[in-house]
Homo-oligomer: A and B are copies of this chain.
Amino acid sequence: MGLSRVERVLPGTRWLRGYTGQFIVADLIAGITVGLTVLPQGLAYATLAGLEPQYGLYSAFVGGVVYALLGGCREVTIGPTALLSLMTSRHTGYGGNSGPQLAILLCFLSGVVELLMAVLRLGALVDLISLPVTVGFTSATALIIGASQLKALLGIRGGSGSGFASTVRTVIANITEARVADSILGVVSIAVLLALRKLKDIKTPPEATGGRKIVGLVCWLVATARNALVVLITSFIAFYCDQRGERPFILTGTVKSGIPDFQLPPFSTVLPAGGGPNGTSSLELGFTGMIEELGASIALVPIIAVLGNVAISKAFGGSGINPTRELVALSLSNICGSFFSSFPVTGSFSRSAVNHASGVKTPIGGIYTGALVLLALGVLTPYFQYIPKAALSAVIISAVIFMIEYEVIRPLWRCNKRELIPGAVTFVLSLIVGVELGLLAGVLTDVAFVVYRTARPILTVTVANTTLGMQYILIRPNHSLIYFPAVEWVRNVTSKAIKQHGNIPVVFDCRLVNEFDYTAATGLQMLRKELEKKQIPLIIYGSSSEVRKLLQETLKSSLLEVTNDDELETMLRDISTEGGKHELREVAIPLLAPASERSPSVVEIDDS
């Protein structure tokens, strides 16, 4: 009982049950492999975020430990990612200590917002981001990140342009200043990284013998640890040159050694002279000032973080994953991380894939990764200064290049071109205006389509006949909601149908309608009054009990209502006897048959 209570608070402790030698070895191998990926990525992403390299490592060890205690999907590895680094970089350009301080506060606040999302069950907000929007967003982000690395890759110095277009322009304008050694190192590194990545695809046949098997294993190891390998080799080259008194490459420079202090996230900062957004004098920012500076990022970073995390845990964990628990794990990774000077973190798709491929058994693998990172911080930092910046850029570029997706375009183009629009809007606006506004615009475009469909439901208009041959207009919404924006549409279609087919009874077929709202019911009442003026009866057919209740409450006066074909026949006969206007013909029609079989005269009015 005691244990199960612990397990409820720290679900990760259940992994310890039967955590045998075999599991320990598997997790250890996976943890170290992931560590060899996160070390170079962490250094690179910190630079991308506009921070000193050690912050990437500070961000890389807390998430693994917290997730091991709280998470539910063994493959997920939490740490710095290209996307969040890019979003953080918006706030790190003011110089002095303000960069890391704002980044750490953003990490803390992201965690708090994520916790709020978990408590208020707002995690479902990411449901609003459709696949085309996600693809447009990540593709644009990949391009922006790739472009931002071009300068370091080519050894071009100078202030970083923030947008995609300005970055590309800066690179092109300064292309003559590109340093040959850096460029060669960068391009070769990318080529090697992409080639090594291909090594993974060489499959060892299961019946392979010893030697063949070892070759296969080595290939896999080299492919998986390729980032670390490239960084190691290029650093050796730089170190060797340095010892000979040559410095052909721009190097990372001193990386601060040691484990970061455990301390509260900063709640004030100073924007140094010339760095602030408002000009030249140095500016002290209190907590509210920092909040203002972070602005929309406080909401957007968590949403992007959750989106990434949900995608990963879905891909690896299936629907067995408890989303709230994942959200809490992510939230505490950020909150705890901010006490160790971390910038915002989330699940990394590439490292989770490495983790999976390395045969991880439990999230405890993340603890081994964390230990390796701490070890590196304590011991390896003196050597990090020799890492060429071009090599780190190569690591980033060869990672984000696979975030550009275009496979989604073909099926959409074939089936549903309309869905390309939100994706295109997101992609283009992300590149031109910024990723936040691009994402927002994409989601709003999607929402606009949803609202449009609700406002313009597909209405099937059929001129049908009773068994006695009496004609009537059957108007059937092929839509389950009749809500306020659809009222005018329904009225217009009905008016048109009457103009076309004459003053015969109108049957409004509610059998596919689940929900009616008050505005729509009032609109139906107005329609009925209008038809009454022309002496046309309006019959409601097959409304559900809730719909009927609302209609009766709104329309007050007694409604003409029928629930099945027999009642419809009877009512239409009664009407024709009273009115005596309609002649009788004998055409039987099965009402539930498809519209095309139902009647000799079928008019389909569709808004598409």
Chain A residues near B (Cβ < 8 Å): 124, 127-132, 314, 318-320, 408, 411-412, 414-416, 419, 446-447, 450-451, 453-455, 457-458, 478-481, 483-489, 491-492, 494-495, 512, 514-515, 517-519, 522, 526-527, 530, 533, 546, 549-550, 553-554
Flag if B484 contacts A446 (CB, 8 Å). yes
Flag if A553 contacts B414 (CB, 8 Å). yes
Flag if A447 contacts B446 (CB, 8 Å). no
Flag if B408 contacts A527 (CB, 8 Å). no
Name which residue of chain B comes closest to A491, CB basis. Answer: B319
Which residues of the partner chain B approach A450 to less than 8 Å between Cβ atoms? 450-451, 454, 481, 483, 485
Flag if A485 contacts B127 (CB, 8 Å). yes
Flag if B130 contacts A519 (CB, 8 Å). yes
A502–B533 alpha-carbon span in the complex (Å): 59
Known: A415-B550, A416-B518, A549-B415. A128 touches B451 (CB 8 A): yes
Flag if A419 contacts B518 (CB, 8 Å). yes
Stoichiometry, as copies per complex, reads 2
25 CB < 8 A contacts A-B: A124-B488, A127-B455, A127-B484, A127-B485, A128-B485, A130-B484, A130-B518, A318-B526, A319-B491, A319-B492, A319-B527, A411-B550, A415-B518, A416-B550, A447-B451, A450-B481, A450-B485, A451-B451, A453-B481, A453-B515, A454-B454, A457-B480, A479-B480, A480-B481, A480-B512
Which residues of the partner chain B approach A130 to less than 8 Å between Cβ atoms? 483-485, 517-519
A530–B512 alpha-carbon span in the complex (Å): 31
Which residues of the partner chain B approach A478 to less than 8 Å between Cβ atoms? 480, 514
Which residues of the partner chain B approach A320 to less than 8 Å between Cβ atoms? 495
Flag if A412 contacts B319 (CB, 8 Å). no
Which residues of the partner chain B approach A483 to less than 8 Å between Cβ atoms? 130, 450
Name which residue of chain B comes closest to A129, CB basis. Answer: B484
A155–B408 alpha-carbon span in the complex (Å): 69
Which residues of the partner chain B approach A479 to less than 8 Å between Cβ atoms? 480-481, 514
Name which residue of chain B comes closest to A592, CB basis. Answer: B592
Task: Give the residue of B131, B487, B533, B553 whose beta carbon is less than 8 angstroms from that of A411.
Answer: B553
A489–B123 alpha-carbon span in the complex (Å): 12
Which residues of the partner chain B approach A512 to less than 8 Å between Cβ atoms? 480, 512
Name which of A416, A546, A550, A553 has the most chain B CB atoms within 10 A of its CB: A416
Name which residue of chain B comes closest to A526, CB basis. Answer: B314
Flag if A530 contacts B485 (CB, 8 Å). no
Task: Give the residue of B128, B408, B527, B554 whose beta carbon is less than 8 angstroms from that of A455.
Answer: B128
Name which residue of chain B comes closest to A514, CB basis. Answer: B478
Which residues of the partner chain B approach A522 to less than 8 Å between Cβ atoms? 131
